[in-house]
Amino acid sequence: MSEEKNIFTQELLDRCISCGYCLPACPTYEITKDEASSPRGRINIMRAVQKNELTLFESLEQSSYCLGCRACEVVCPAGVEYGLMLEEWRDAAWQGKNRPLIVKLLLFAANRRVFVRLMGLFNLRNYKKSKQQSVSLMLGCFERGLFPGVSKSSLKVFDQVSSNPAQGCCGALHAHNGELERGQELARELGDQLPGTILTTSGGCAAHLSSVLGKDRVKEVSQYFFENEMLDSLNEITKNGKKIKIGLQDSCHLRNGLGIFKEPREILKRIGEYQEVPGAAECCGAAGSYALVRPKDSKEIVSKKISEISKLELDYLVTVNPGCQRQMQTSIKKGPKVIHIVELIEMSLQSKGSK
């Protein structure tokens, strides 16, 4: 009999009853119709690795083809925590030469604290608030470089929020890409750096930080706006005398990990004519580092979504995660303007449109 390995938490592996309810929810299974690229198939691969019937190297392809979107979790009747199992899988498999080169580069950049902090200090230098507040804005390591306007909007929308531009990375990138322990350590460090409630504009970071620091410490921006009963402060935005047409792309980890999907919709309904994008809940293919690690697969996943979006003739497509924002901005060549929800909230607060 083959000797068992200690890679996965056995209780997590044992929870799957192989019912197959998760198969139709899985974007990679939808493409391939191959059991190996379904959640159940991948759990069986993990079990085979644990039993030493398969090597970690042989499991690499499916560990990277999986988007980590956790759509399988929300339909699972047995409470399988697939996201945790995927983190354990990559933590064991994505080591040394098995770690994708682009992941090595991203982690290298995120690990250079001085570099991450300098981006925040430079891009948000005029927005440092000296007075300590009870809510701290998390800047996100790549978001502060790519989309500094998102943090600036957050600081304008919420008077009670302060920001420390010298803060580090939350560790979500590490946890999802083979450095689970380091990812948890960084989340705890950020928790020490940012007092009180931590406000984040990234669904992925919100889910990771909540898993380490607890849900009470962490609020995603649309959740925070909604829970603070700020909906009545919003104004309609009009264009050519008509309400703007708005759609939303969910963040997988925000929706599937934290159950937050109603809040951004309620906000958008107050600002304009809300249109549900078909498949809004399905992954856009950004999936953290996925769009860089597997660009061809990422494009295949997003292309169906783009054709659905183009039929709606939206003015704005709203995102709640920087990775989704980058993915949609680079994929939509002609069509709605892609914008983060807090930027649209800021526009609405400044708008003189009728309520």
22 near ligand SF4, judged by CB under 6 A: yes
Query: Torsions phi, psi of 316, nearest 5?
Result: -135, 135
294 near ligand SF4, judged by CB under 6 A: no
Identify the residue among 1, 6, 11, 18 touching ligand SF4 (CB under 6 A): 18
Tokens of 308: 């659905």
Cβ proximity to ligand SF4: between 103 and 198 the closer is 103
Rounded Cα distance, 343 and 220, in Å:
14
Q: How far is the CB of 42 from ligand SF4 (least distance, A)?
A: 5
Q: How far is the CB of 7 from ligand SF4 (least distance, A)?
A: 17
Q: If phi over 0 gives left and psi between -120 and 50 gives alpha, with beta otherwise, what is residue 145?
A: alpha
17 near ligand SF4, judged by CB under 6 A: yes
Identify the residue among 7, 13, 71, 254 touching ligand SF4 (CB under 6 A): 71
Cβ proximity to ligand SF4: between 120 and 183 the closer is 183
**Residue 343: how many CB atoms within 10 A of its CB?**
22
Cβ proximity to ligand SF4: between 44 and 351 the closer is 44
SS3 state at 283:
coil
Rounded Cα distance, 148 and 305, in Å:
26
- CA neighbor of 321 nearest in space, from 342, 297, 351, 300: 342
Rounded Cα distance, 47 and 180, in Å:
20
Cβ proximity to ligand SF4: between 19 and 101 the closer is 19
16 near ligand SF4, judged by CB under 6 A: yes
Query: Torsions phi, psi of 274, nearest 5?
Result: -80, 130
Q: How far is the CB of 271 from ligand SF4 (least distance, A)?
A: 30
Q: Residue 239 contacts by C-beta under 8 Å, 6 or more apart in sequence?
A: 315
Residues 27-66 touching ligand SF4, rule: CB under 6 A, are 27-28, 39-40, 42-43, 66
Beta bridge partners of 246: 274, 316
The region of 74-82, 161-169, 200-208, 342-350 touching ligand SF4 under the rule CB under 6 A is 74-82
307 near ligand SF4, judged by CB under 6 A: no
Q: What single DSSP character describes residue 288? A: T
The region of 10-18, 107-115, 242-250, 338-346 touching ligand SF4 under the rule CB under 6 A is 10-18
69 near ligand SF4, judged by CB under 6 A: yes
Cβ proximity to ligand SF4: between 70 and 152 the closer is 70
Number of chain residues interacting with ligand SF4 (CB under 6 A)? 26
Cβ proximity to ligand SF4: between 41 and 165 the closer is 41
Specify the length of the chain in residues. Answer: 355
68 near ligand SF4, judged by CB under 6 A: yes
Q: Residue 171 contacts by C-beta under 8 Å, 6 or more apart in sequence?
A: 182, 183, 184, 185, 186, 187, 190, 208, 212
Identify the residue among 13, 45, 49, 80 touching ligand SF4 (CB under 6 A): 80
Q: How far is the CB of 355 from ligand SF4 (least distance, A)?
A: 40
Q: Is 319:242 a contact under the CB 8 Å cutoff?
A: no
Q: Is 283:67 a contact under the CB 8 Å cutoff?
A: yes
8 near ligand SF4, judged by CB under 6 A: no
The region of 12-20, 125-133, 145-153, 231-239 touching ligand SF4 under the rule CB under 6 A is 12-20
Tokens of 140: 């996100």
Residues 184-213 touching ligand SF4, rule: CB under 6 A, are none
Cβ proximity to ligand SF4: between 86 and 139 the closer is 86
326 near ligand SF4, judged by CB under 6 A: no
Query: Torsions phi, psi of 145, nearest 5?
Result: -90, -45
Query: Torsions phi, psi of 223, nearest 5?
Result: -65, -45
Cβ proximity to ligand SF4: between 260 and 339 the closer is 260
Whole-angstrom CA distances from 117 to 136, 141, 203, 205, 284 are 16, 8, 21, 17, 29
Given the rule CB under 6 A, which residues bind ligand SF4? 16-22, 25-28, 39-40, 42-43, 66-72, 76, 78, 80, 82
